[in-house]
Amino acid sequence: MTLPRRVPLSAALRYQGGGPMWAWILHRVSGLGMILFIASHVLAGFGIQQLGGDWAIWYNTIYESLYFQLFIYFCVIFHAVNGLRIIILDAWPALIKFQREFIWLEWAIVLPIYGLTAWIMIQRSLGG
Amino acid sequence: MKPRKVPTPGWNFEYLMWLFTRISGAAMVLLALIGFVGALVMGARYHMDLGTLLRWTFFPNPNHVLNSDIPDIAPWANAYWQIMQLALVFFGATHGFNGLRLVLEEYIHSWGWHMFLRLVLMVLWLITLGAGFFLVLTS
């Protein structure tokens, strides 16, 4: 059981946690995004292969769109790199002292990987 | 104010899932790297577009490279890559549904709803595992 937290939304929005707070929020959002995508992708794949359902083919068209791919690729890359940061900080708690530096390092890894791929994806989709 | 009850430290469920989340997370990064190298060995530089390369990277299933120019996919649809896929399905589904459970339980405070939630997520987890394993073994 977790502790009940009775924090009003207005107070939550005023909280200034900085980098680690945003990493926590994005980790959560990207994790939920991936569950939604992967679980339904597995089920739609099963649907196409075994049941031949039109709903599964319709579902495929959603994640073939560029916007969805840009979203889910960000989820995967961010969640992976942020997860590695969490593993490292959990394994060597002394490093917590440098957690802000870890956030910068994390973005320095995520942004080039994501940006390069996103750039190619957008360019390809514009070029046809 | 009454102090809250904290579970005793040790090999309890929450600790095991905490450990599993870290180990499976690192394992999935490793599996993705193996898939990435595998796609390059397969000839991604000349026969695949970026999307196909990424699809094989994150899930090395032969259906994921159907639209590429790889002359023959058959040599790549073998037991080695099937084991990689099964590991990914198992790690991914377990890591993901446990994460979903943790997120939901932070916003729900009654024991009864927790148990109901765990039952529902357990069923969804088993369905996803079953569908995923079936797909991997038949494709």
**ipTM of the prediction:** 0.87
The top-scoring range by mean pLDDT among A45-54, A56-65, A86-95, B56-65 is A86-95
Per-residue pLDDT band for A8 (boundaries 50, 70, 90) equals confident
Please check whether residue A12 lies inside any domain of the structure: no
Report the pLDDT value the prediction gives residue A57, as an integer from 0 to 100: 80
Report the pLDDT value the prediction gives residue A4, as an integer from 0 to 100: 64
Please check whether residue A105 lies inside any domain of the structure: yes
Q: Tokens 């009654």 map to which residue?
A: B110
d(CA B120, CA B139): 28
Q: CATH number for the domain including A119?
A: 1.20.1300
d(CA A51, CA B19): 37
d(CA B76, CA B60): 9
- Which residue ranges make up each domain of chain B? 13-138
Position A1 pLDDT exceeds 60: no
Position A11 pLDDT exceeds 90: no
d(CA B85, CA B59): 6
Yes or no, beta carbons of A32 and B58 under 8 Å apart: no
Determine which of B1, B20, B53, B54 to mutate to test the interface with A (most A C-beta atoms within 10 Å): B54
Is A83 at the interface with chain B, CB within 8 A?
yes
d(CA B128, CA B90): 9
As separate numbers, helices (DSSP H) first and strands (DSSP E) second, chain A gives 5, 0
Average pLDDT, rounded, for chain B? 89
In A, minimum Cα distance to B111 occurs at: A1
Determine which of A6, A35, A64, A109 to mutate to test the interface with B (most B C-beta atoms within 10 Å): A35
How many domains is chain A partitioned into structurally?
A: 1
pTM: 0.88
Q: What's the mean pLDDT in B48-76?
A: 84
Name the B residues in 13-42 with CB < 8 Å from any A CB: 22, 25-26, 28-29, 32
Is A53 at the interface with chain B, CB within 8 A?
no
- State pLDDT tens for residues A73-107: 999 999 999 999 999 999 999 999 998 899 999 99
Q: What's the mean pLDDT in A16-36?
A: 90
> Which residue has better confidence, B69 or B83?
B83
Report the pLDDT value the prediction gives residue B2, as an integer from 0 to 100: 75
Is B67 at the interface with chain A, CB within 8 A?
no
Q: What is the CA radius of gyration of chain A?
A: 19
Amino acid at B69: D
Closest Cα partner for A80 from A113, A43, A56, A45?
A113
Q: Report CA-CA distances (Å) from A117 to A73, A124, B40, B54, B94.
A: 9, 11, 16, 10, 28
Yes or no, beta carbons of B92 and A87 under 8 Å apart: no
Question: In this structure, are residues A42 and B135 in contact, taking their beta carbons and an 8 Å threshold?
Answer: yes
d(CA A41, CA A39): 5
Domain of A105? 19-127
Please check whether residue A120 lies inside any domain of the structure: yes
Question: In this structure, are residues B131 and B85 in contact, taking their beta carbons and an 8 Å threshold?
Answer: no
The top-scoring range by mean pLDDT among A23-37, B50-64, B68-82 is A23-37
